[in-house]
Chains A and B, each alone.
Chain A
């Protein structure tokens, strides 16, 4: 491809292999892979693709869990690995301006000397990029109190699929006219590419308390979550793990999680020192009232880090249980936790599958992980996907959503009709057509596609 010059194009089939995968179970081969270094590069590739009717699939670090970065309809994969500079740390305005390839954790590390951080902290934050975060509207354990990516982005530079460059928003909290920044965040690459991001920076909390509470049953842990939410204490994080997750994590991280608990909660409160002891006592009292079998307060920063390393390393630790996993991301109203968790476990058990639950309980955002070994059970993925669908149907039935943070991608686009009626999808379609009339921006994602969704019958789960 002459558009960019040799060094910015991945040349060999072999080198292109890594771009066939992301964190999900889907794969597909790109026709070409490009590595733009500037917005002008991005626009040039887009113009070329537009002229030739070729799809463009933006890609960050490829940690996505819904197949968003997979070129399901072929075309050019555009990796943002070389647009990874922090352009400006604007302390007076509490903003940073970054390129999309900047790794999430690198930003928080870079601004830490100023007593600031970027709030969204996906468990993948050591690898995932801010471009990916914007595209997925990612969350993380600590987005319970302060909001997910969309609540922390005020400006974008985007390149449309025809090569048009547009600046949206800026450093102020809002801009005149429609909120295009808010509309673009979470669009999964289907409205165009992000080439620059202006984010809010938030002052680090003065102090925090991290409590690990163990329960005999998951029901008790779930009831505790509801009780904490209702009490008025707003923790920075409430994460839940079941016994199988705890076992896997403990083996790999040695965080000191109790191995005999049916369910554990990791609850963190932060803020000024003055209120923290009160908040901790209230939380511990609620845990006890709901039958906590043990309570442990992280006594040192190191201990706290260990507890969090365990939680954030949970997906990776599943490798201890089995080589493959399939994770879902449904959301439910928090009061329905006990009941839906039971249905989640039944959905797996009835198909002979092992399931671990490790998730953002404070938001009602489930992450059931079904673990299996494809070499030994070649049809396990199919059964896991069946169970996944049943779980998502239960979430929607409870008034929830099929995805809280991982996105729809190509993994759940056929499931969109579970949650949205045709008129709802038609309204979203208008947005798609306004940004990407040619349909070349990451096609085959988010919206159900007739070719891939035909065999899939919603009748079966409704």
Chain B
């Protein structure tokens, strides 16, 4: 039987962790459970949910920073910011349900990363409840700060294995005045990625440069831009030129923003088969995408081409899906990148692991950090790539 805990505040959360450590009871750490599919999920004695540790703690619009409690829904924070004409320039999947703590712990980025930075770049402070029941602050509420170690970076992507994020501070921005977008199709992957690459190197700073491929369909490029009117107009014409130079055909662009939202939600939609996610050096994307599209089980590819994050959804019979997933992990590793099986159907859980069987670089240091922060090994045992 799993005990469910919903601590009311940071102190109660810390006490729960201390109790679990003392009694060596294993714990799942969760917010809204929107990403409950991530990693290796072992049954735990306790499920601790942060949903009551919620609310905006501090928002000084003129400082362009916001501090929120860890269990605050992302959407609630976004609404608070929007009332002040601001936004957190992050577009994570599951934005409708996810909590801030979950977004940080899962390093949940969308397509805006190359334009504004990812979770690790926007997060400037955290308060953590640690396994021994202490509460520790790292970073702060100012946009520049090098006092002490950057523990904020350490918790981004830690999947609850190092502690519970009970508070977080971000840099935010004023909502831009104008936006525009463009979609185009290309006959070949090489052309679509070359157009994306031209934009990555171009003078305009696009907000999203995304490549989509569905089984049997053409390669599509979606570009979004936001900013003041003149720069957005220029961004759009730069994108149109890149498309034309690579013999793409532009499509009507009225709903690029909503298309991008749908593509961003691929992890939410990919409930069957396996969703492989690779982080690649930019120039390695084309070959990776081409070989992905050739797999028997291939259905959908979505690439944040400006950051080198490529997702491939494989479906069909379990053999083909498993073989394809393993091939993609190897391909990612072969070019110096990394890959994971971000989501997989229940029937595949035993056949393919969530993580590349090759240890991540610096694994022995990760192990030592895990032991230092959670000596009893109670926080999300086995869930992350660290083990």
Q: Which residues of A contact B (CB under 8 A)?
A: 90, 92-95, 115, 136-137, 139, 143, 147-148, 150-151, 166-183, 185-187, 191, 203, 205-206, 226, 229-232, 234, 271-275, 278-279, 331-335, 360, 363-365, 399-408, 412, 416, 419-421, 423-428, 430-435, 446
Contacts and interface: CB of A to CB of B under 8 A. Distances in A.
Contact of B145 (A95, A191, A203, A404): A404
Contact of A180 (B64, B143, B146, B362): B362
A278 B178 CA distance: 14
Interface string B139-172: 0111111111111011011100010000000000
B174 interface: yes
Interface string B116-138: 01101100000010100011111
Interface in B187-244: 200-205, 227-231, 233-235, 238
Contact of A94 (B65, B176, B282, B362): B282
Nearest to A407: B146
B250 interface: no
Contacts of A333: 60, 63, 65, 141-142
Given A172-B280, A172-B281, A234-B173, A420 B144 contact: no
Query: Could you say which of A139, A174, A278 has the most chain B C-beta atoms within 10 Å of its C-beta?
Result: A174
Contacts of B138: 424, 427-428
Contact of B356 (A151, A176, A360): A176
B210 to A, nearest CB: 15
A333 to B, nearest CB: 4
B281 A95 contact: yes
Contact of A186 (B149, B157, B368): B149
A384 to B, nearest CB: 20
Contacts of A363: 142-144
Nearest to A166: B362
Contacts of B146: 136-137, 186, 401, 403-408
Given A93-B281, A179-B120, A399-B140, 5 more contacts: A172-B308, A178-B386, A274-B231, A279-B228, A400-B142
**Pairs of residues from A and B, 4 with the lowest C-beta to C-beta distance, nearest first:** A182-B153, A427-B136, A232-B174, A275-B231
Contacts of B336: 170-172
B361 interface: yes
Query: Could you say which of B128, B145, B360, B371 has the most chain A C-beta atoms within 10 Å of its C-beta?
Result: B145
Contact of A178 (B65, B121, B143, B158): B158
B89 to A, nearest CB: 11
B306 to A, nearest CB: 10
B369 A178 contact: yes
B203 A401 contact: no
B62 interface: yes
Contacts of B298: none
A370 B162 CA distance: 42
B150 A177 contact: no
A178 B154 contact: yes
Interface string B330-364: 00000011101000000000000001100011111
B113 interface: yes
A170 B332 CA distance: 12
Interface in B30-63: 60-63
Given A203-B203, A401-B142, A335 B150 contact: no
A408 B146 CA distance: 8
Contact of A364 (B144, B205, B281, B337): B144
B281 A150 contact: no
Given A272-B203, A333-B63, A170 B281 contact: yes
Nearest to A336: B63
Contact of A399 (B141, B177, B371): B141
Given A232-B176, A365-B144, A428 B149 contact: yes
Given A399-B140, A430-B372, A93 B361 contact: no
A278 B228 contact: yes
Contact of B365 (A402, A416, A432, A434): A434
A428 B148 contact: yes
A365 B386 CA distance: 36
A271 B206 CA distance: 12
A335 B134 contact: no
B174 A231 contact: yes
A51 to B, nearest CB: 20
B369 A230 contact: no
B190 to A, nearest CB: 13
A432 B136 CA distance: 15
A213 B152 CA distance: 37
Nearest to A232: B174
B309 interface: yes
30 contacts: A170-B338, A171-B337, A172-B279, A172-B336, A175-B361, A176-B338, A176-B356, A176-B385, A179-B120, A185-B150, A191-B149, A203-B201, A226-B62, A231-B174, A232-B173, A232-B175, A273-B234, A399-B141, A400-B140, A400-B141, A401-B144, A401-B146, A404-B144, A405-B144, A421-B137, A427-B128, A428-B149, A430-B372, A430-B373, A431-B154
Nearest to A400: B142
B202 A271 contact: no
A331 B128 CA distance: 22
Contact of A360 (B107, B144, B156): B144
Contact of B384 (A115, A143, A147, A177): A177
A405 B144 CA distance: 7
A150 B153 contact: yes
Given A177-B384, A182-B150, A274 B281 contact: no
Given A93-B281, A178-B158, A428-B151, A173 B309 contact: yes
